[in-house]
């Protein structure tokens, strides 16, 4: 039965990098605090008027070019984002149109930071079931729209205006969340292959009892209409995050799932060449690495330069590692990720 291989990768991040010092212009924080707690030094933000599909388009063009195929050869699109262009329809349809594709099926998935793991299982199923041969997987996020400030000119260094203490105080309420996220897109072209490559096995999980550990309280069809004026005044467009709880989930559930996957597939941890972990916090990944006894060079990180780009993270990391020659054919990789929902899982992939 056909497996899959990745024949092209690409990523895109918008605009100039926004440093921790730039964020400290609008809230009480510091480069030291952010770096020590998360490993992040800078991130990028999607500009006003641009959407996840625009960043996805740039990343997809690069991946398609690297794959040396025509966009018309793509017979399925999977688009992963938690910050879509519209409440509906999903960004997959919008991206397909921007790529000039008419009639190519596009599926939107909503597993946030864990999207890649669920995506791998879907890609495997679509290819093995014969529904697709060439699949474009894109993860893209425009988190800028939920940042707790409106002073973009100050953040971007276009104004030296100083915020009042009261203005900063409003932003401070959300500063633990605001410093973690960044925008960008990563795209991967998967193709069916007879080579011994593709998904070895995956373990994915969802526990919706913890949906409110990271969620957007405002908007949604629990109310009529689904958006009310006072939601803006109560800053309900800003996600609420229980950072400590998510941290605990990640450092307990991911090593447990990784071990279970190794046990089920009789894969010794030492035989895995690379551990491709979601980049939510460098400390989370260090804990996981220590618990699994994985040497530091086997778990590459790029959170320092991008922050947490949610569904964009793993595709961006894969693109960088492919270009660096770190990720190569025949290597055995383990993917690990946990995201809002909560959704989490691990996947073993032969490259």
**Contact residues for ligand ACO, defined by CB under 6 A:** 29, 33-34, 37-38, 112-113, 175-176, 179-180, 214, 241, 243-244, 246-247, 250, 280-281, 308, 310, 339-340
Task: Please say which residue, 38 or 42, places its beta carbon nearer to ligand ACO.
Answer: 38
Question: CB–CB of 123/45 below 8 Å?
Answer: no
Residue nearest to ligand ACO (CB): 243
Task: Please say which residue, 310 or 333, places its beta carbon nearer to ligand ACO.
Answer: 310
Query: Within 10 A of 232 (CB to CB), how many other CB atoms are there?
Result: 11
Task: Please say which residue, 38 or 257, places its beta carbon nearer to ligand ACO.
Answer: 38
Closest distance of CB 34 from ligand ACO, Å: 6
Closest distance of CB 311 from ligand ACO, Å: 8
Closest distance of CB 2 from ligand ACO, Å: 31
**Cβ burial, residue 142 (10 Å; 0-12/13-18/19+):** buried
Secondary structure of residue 340 in the 3-state scheme: coil
Closest distance of CB 78 from ligand ACO, Å: 17
Comparing CA positions, the residue from 203, 184, 204 lying closest to residue 139 is: 184
Write out the catalytic residue numbers.
113, 278, 308
Task: Please say which residue, 99 or 277, places its beta carbon nearer to ligand ACO.
Answer: 277
Cis amide leading into 10 (omega within 30): no
Task: Please say which residue, 96 or 179, places its beta carbon nearer to ligand ACO.
Answer: 179
Q: Phi and psi for 99 in degrees, rounded to 5?
A: -85, 0
Closest distance of CB 175 from ligand ACO, Å: 4
Question: Which string of DSSP letters, residue by residue, matches 128-195?
Answer: HTTS-SEEEEEEEE-GGGG-S-S-HHHHTTS--PPPPHHHHHHHHTTHHHHTTB--EEEEEEEEEESS
DSSP classification of residue 270: G
Burial 92-116 (b: 16+ CB within 10 A, else e): bbbbbebbebeebbbbbbbbbbbbb
């Amino acid at each position: 039965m056909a497996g899959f291989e990745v024949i092209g990768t690409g990523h895109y991040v918008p605009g100039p990098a926004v440093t921790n010092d730039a964020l400290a212009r609008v809230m009480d924080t510091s480069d030291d605090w952010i770096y020590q707690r998360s490993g992040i030094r800078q991130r990028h933000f999607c500009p006003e008027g641009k959407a996840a599909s625009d960043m996805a388009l740039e990343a997809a063009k690069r991946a398609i070019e690297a794959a040396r195929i025509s966009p018309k050869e793509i017979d399925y699109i999977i688009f992963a984002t938690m910050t879509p262009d519209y409440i509906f329809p999903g960004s997959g349809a919008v991206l397909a149109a921007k790529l000039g594709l008419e009639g190519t099926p596009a599926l939107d998935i909503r597993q946030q930071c864990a999207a890649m793991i669920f995506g791998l299982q879907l890609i495997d199923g679509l290819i093995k079931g014969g529904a697709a041969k060439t699949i474009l997987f894109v993860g893209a996020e425009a988190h800028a729209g939920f940042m707790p400030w409106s002073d973009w000119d100050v953040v971007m260094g276009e104004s030296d205006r100083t915020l009042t203490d009261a203005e900063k105080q409003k932003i401070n309420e959300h500063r633990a969340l605001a410093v973690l996220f960044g925008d960008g897109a990563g795209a991967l072209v998967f193709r069916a292959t007879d080579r011994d490559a593709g998904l070895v096995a995956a373990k994915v999980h969802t526990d919706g009892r913890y949906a409110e550990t990271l969620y957007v309280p405002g908007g949604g069809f629990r109310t009529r209409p689904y958006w009310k004026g006072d939601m803006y005044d109560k800053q309900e467009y800003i996600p609420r995050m229980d950072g400590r709880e998510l941290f605990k989930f990640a450092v307990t559930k991911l090593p447990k799932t990784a071990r279970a996957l190794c046990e089920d597939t009789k894969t010794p941890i030492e035989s895995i060449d690379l551990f491709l972990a979601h980049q939510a916090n460098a400390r989370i990944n260090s804990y996981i690495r220590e618990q699994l006894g994985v040497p530091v060079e086997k778990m590459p990180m790029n959170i320092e330069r991008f922050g947490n780009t949610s569904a964009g993270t793993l595709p961006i990391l894969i693109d960088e590692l492919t270009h660096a020659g770190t990720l190569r054919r025949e290597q055995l990789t383990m993917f690990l990720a946990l995201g809002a929902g909560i959704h989490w899982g691990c996947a073993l992939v032969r490259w």
